């Protein structure tokens, strides 16, 4: 879909906005009739319907937006640690497991197997009881 071409704000448009707003039209209606955005109508009003002041304000707004965009693109400086702040040490190497850790993992695996067997026994018992009750 093509974007509609923006209407250039001129002195004449500023005067038309002023007259239409005095006539009671709201910003949206004025914008639609003149082919500009309601925000533009608001900015023209903020400039006191003065074309020269409007263009100055637009330049200042664009410069402010550029400065904000440039600030967002700048790499952030590395923050210095605060005194008393904890620091994590991240290593990519896998530390060797102690014998105690290995034994705990083994026991956990055995308990998992035991729980699975108990679940099977429970399920089988439940199926037997259901079959007996139906008869």
Domain ranges of the chain: 11-72, 98-135
Distance of CA 46 to the CA centre of its chain: 31
The answer to whether residue 1 scores a pLDDT higher than 50 is: no
Query: How far apart are the C-alpha atoms of 106 and 117, rounded to whole Å?
Result: 17
Q: Regarding predicted confidence, which is higher, 106 or 5?
A: 106
User: What pLDDT, on a 0 to 100 scale, did the predictor assign at position 98?
Assistant: 87
Distance of CA 101 to the CA centre of its chain: 41
Query: How far apart are the C-alpha atoms of 82 and 88, rounded to whole Å?
Result: 14
What pLDDT digit, counting tens, does each position of 84-119 carry?
Answer: 777 777 776 777 788 998 999 999 999 999 999 999
Query: How far apart are the C-alpha atoms of 19 and 106, rounded to whole Å?
Result: 85
The pTM assigned to this predicted structure is: 0.50
What pLDDT digit, counting tens, does each position of 24-76 carry?
Answer: 999 999 989 888 988 999 999 999 999 999 999 999 999 999 988 887 777 66
User: What pLDDT, on a 0 to 100 scale, did the predictor assign at position 5?
Assistant: 64
């Amino acid at each position: 879909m093509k974007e509609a071409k923006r209407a250039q704000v001129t002195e004449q448009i500023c005067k038309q906005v002023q007259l239409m707003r005095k006539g009671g039209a709201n910003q949206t209606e004025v914008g639609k009739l003149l082919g500009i955005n309601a925000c533009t109508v608001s900015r023209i009003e903020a400039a006191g319907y003065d074309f020269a002041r409007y263009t100055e304000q637009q330049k200042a707004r664009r410069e402010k937006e550029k400065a904000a965009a440039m600030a967002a693109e700048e790499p952030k400086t590395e923050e210095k640690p605060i005194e008393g702040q904890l620091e994590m040490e991240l290593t990519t190497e896998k530390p060797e497991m102690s014998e105690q850790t290995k034994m705990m993992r083994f026991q956990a695996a055995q308990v998992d197997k035991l729980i699975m067997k108990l679940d099977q026994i429970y399920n089988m018992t439940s199926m037997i009881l259901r079959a007996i009750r139906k008869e």
